[in-house]
C-alpha cells in the first residue's frame, strides 16, 4: 500500500471518530469528576491496547515515559477545560495544536516542513478561528476553560512529536504504555476528587471515549504520525472541526451559517495546500558541452 493510500485509510476513520468525541466527553462530565473520568478511560484503553498487542509488558524507556507524562498532562487540561467550555469551543481551541506541533518538531526532531506545509497550517488555523467565531455560544467561554484547552493543545502537540520520535517502537505497545502511565498518574488523585453517578448514559459515554475515542483514536493518530512529517499530519487534524459541522448538519438538518461554511472551506483549503509537494523546476544548461559537439557525426 502506498503512503498516500495508507494515510487516507487511517485519516478517514480518525476524523469521523474524533468528530464525535467532544460531545460524548462533554455529556459524560454530567455524571463524573473530570479527572476520575480520564483515569477510568486511561485504564480501560490501556488494557484494550495491551490485549490487542497480546503482550502485557509495557515499554519502559525515557522517551516513552515522557510520552505518557505529556499525554497525561494534555488530557487533564483537556477534560478540565471541557468542564468550563462547550464541546464546540473545546474542539476549536484544541485544534490550535498544529501551531505548536510544527515548531516543536523542528526543536526536538530537527524536522522541517515544506513551504506548502507551513502555509497550509496557517490557512487551516484561520479556518478554525473563523468557525470558532461562528459558534453561537462562543461568547460564553470561561477564561480558565480557554486557557486549559489551549494548554491541552500544546501538550497534545508535544506528545505527537514524541510519537514521531518513537516511530521505530511497537506502536500498539507504545500507546498501551502511554495509557498505563497516565492511568497510574490519575488513580492517586481519585480520593481527593472522586465523584461518580453510574447511570446507563455514563457507561455509553465512557465506552465511546475509552474504546473508540481512546484506544482506536490514538492508535490511528500514532499510525499517521509514523508515516509522514509532523507538519503534514497535524494539518490533517483541521478536518475534525470541519467534519463536525457537516455531521451536525446531516444529523440535525440545521443548515450551517455562512460564516461556518466559510470556516469549513478555509480548513479544507488549508489541508489541501499542506498536502501539495514542491514541484521540480527544469533549468536549461548554462553551457554547451563542446566534447559532445565534436563527437557528433
Look at 18-27, 60-69, 166-175 and tell me which has the smallest mean pLDDT. Answer: 18-27
Q: Residue 297: pLDDT above 50? A: no
Give a yes or no: residue 289 inside a domain: no
Strand-pairing partners, residue 32, are 196
Give a yes or no: residue 55 inside a domain: yes
Task: Kindly give the residue spans of alpha helices, DSSP state H, lying in 29-109.
Answer: 34-53, 62-82, 87-94, 97-109
DSSP annotation of 285 reads -
pLDDT of residue 135: 58
Give a yes or no: residue 179 inside a domain: yes
Q: What is the pLDDT of residues 13-52, one digit of tens each?
A: 888 888 888 889 989 999 999 999 999 999 999 999 999 9
C-alpha angle 2/247/239, rounded to 5°? 40
pLDDT above 70 covers a percentage of the chain that reads 82
Q: Residue 211: pLDDT above 70? A: yes
Q: Is there a contact between 123 and 256 (Cβ–Cβ < 8 Å)?
A: no
Q: What is the pLDDT of residues 244-296, one digit of tens each?
A: 667 766 766 767 678 777 877 887 787 777 767 665 443 444 454 444 444 44
Round the average pLDDT of the chain to a whole number and report it. Answer: 82
pLDDT of residue 44: 95
Give a yes or no: residue 282 inside a domain: no
Give a yes or no: residue 288 inside a domain: no
Give a yes or no: residue 292 inside a domain: no
Q: What is the pLDDT of residues 174-206, one digit of tens each?
A: 999 999 999 999 999 999 999 999 999 999 999
Give a yes or no: residue 286 inside a domain: no
CA distance 192 to 171: 34
- How many structural domains are present in the chain? 1
pLDDT above 90 covers a percentage of the chain that reads 38
Largest CA distance in the chain: 92
Domain extent at residue 108: 3-276
Q: Which among 236, 238, 254 has a CA at the least distance from the CA of 246?
A: 254
Give a yes or no: residue 230 inside a domain: yes
Q: Is there a contact between 276 and 117 (Cβ–Cβ < 8 Å)?
A: no
pTM beyond 0.95: no
Amino acid at each position: 500500500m502506498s503512503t498516500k493510500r495508507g494515510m487516507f485509510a487511517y485519516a478517514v476513520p480518525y476524523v469521523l471518530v474524533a468528530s464525535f468525541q467532544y460531545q460524548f466527553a462533554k455529556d459524560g462530565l454530567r455524571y463524573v469528576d473530570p479527572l476520575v473520568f480520564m483515569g477510568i478511560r486511561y485504564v480501560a484503553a490501556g488494557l484494550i491496547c495491551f490485549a490487542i498487542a497480546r503482550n502485557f509488558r509495557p515499554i519502559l524507556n525515557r522517551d516513552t515515559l515522557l510520552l505518557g507524562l505529556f499525554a497525561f498532562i494534555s488530557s487533564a487540561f483537556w477534560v478540565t477545560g471541557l468542564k468550563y467550555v462547550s464541546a464546540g469551543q473545546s474542539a476549536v481551541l484544541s485544534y490550535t495544536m498544529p501551531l505548536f506541533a510544527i515548531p516543536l518538531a523542528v526543536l526536538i526532531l530537527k524536522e522541517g516542513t515544506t513551504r506548502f506545509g507551513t502555509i497550509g497550517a496557517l490557512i487551516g488555523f484561520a479556518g478554525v478561528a473563523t468557525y470558532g467565531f461562528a459558534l453561537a455560544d462562543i461568547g460564553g467561554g470561561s477564561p480558565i476553560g480557554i486557557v486549559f484547552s489551549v494548554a491541552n493543545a500544546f501538550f497534545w502537540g508535544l506528545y505527537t512529536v514524541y510519537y514521531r520520535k518513537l516511530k521505530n517502537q511497537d506502536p500498539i505497545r507504545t500507546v498501551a504504555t502511554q495509557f498505563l502511565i497516565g492511568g497510574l498518574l490519575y488513580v492517586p488523585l481519585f480520593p481527593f476528587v472522586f465523584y461518580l453517578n453510574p447511570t446507563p448514559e455514563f457507561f455509553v459515554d465512557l465506552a465511546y471515549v475509552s474504546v473508540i475515542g481512546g484506544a482506536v483514536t490514538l492508535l490511528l493518530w500514532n499510525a499517521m504520525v509514523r508515516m509522514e512529517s509532523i507538519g503534514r499530519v497535524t494539518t490533517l487534524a483541521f478536518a475534525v472541526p470541519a467534519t463536525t459541522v457537516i455531521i451536525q448538519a446531516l444529523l440535525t438538518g440545521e443548515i450551517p451559517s455562512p460564516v461556518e461554511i466559510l470556516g469549513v472551506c478555509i480548513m479544507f483549503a488549508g489541508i489541501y495546500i499542506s498536502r501539495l509537494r514542491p514541484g521540480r523546476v527544469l533549468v536549461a544548461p548554462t553551457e554547451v558541452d563542446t566534447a559532445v559537439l565534436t563527437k557528433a557525426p
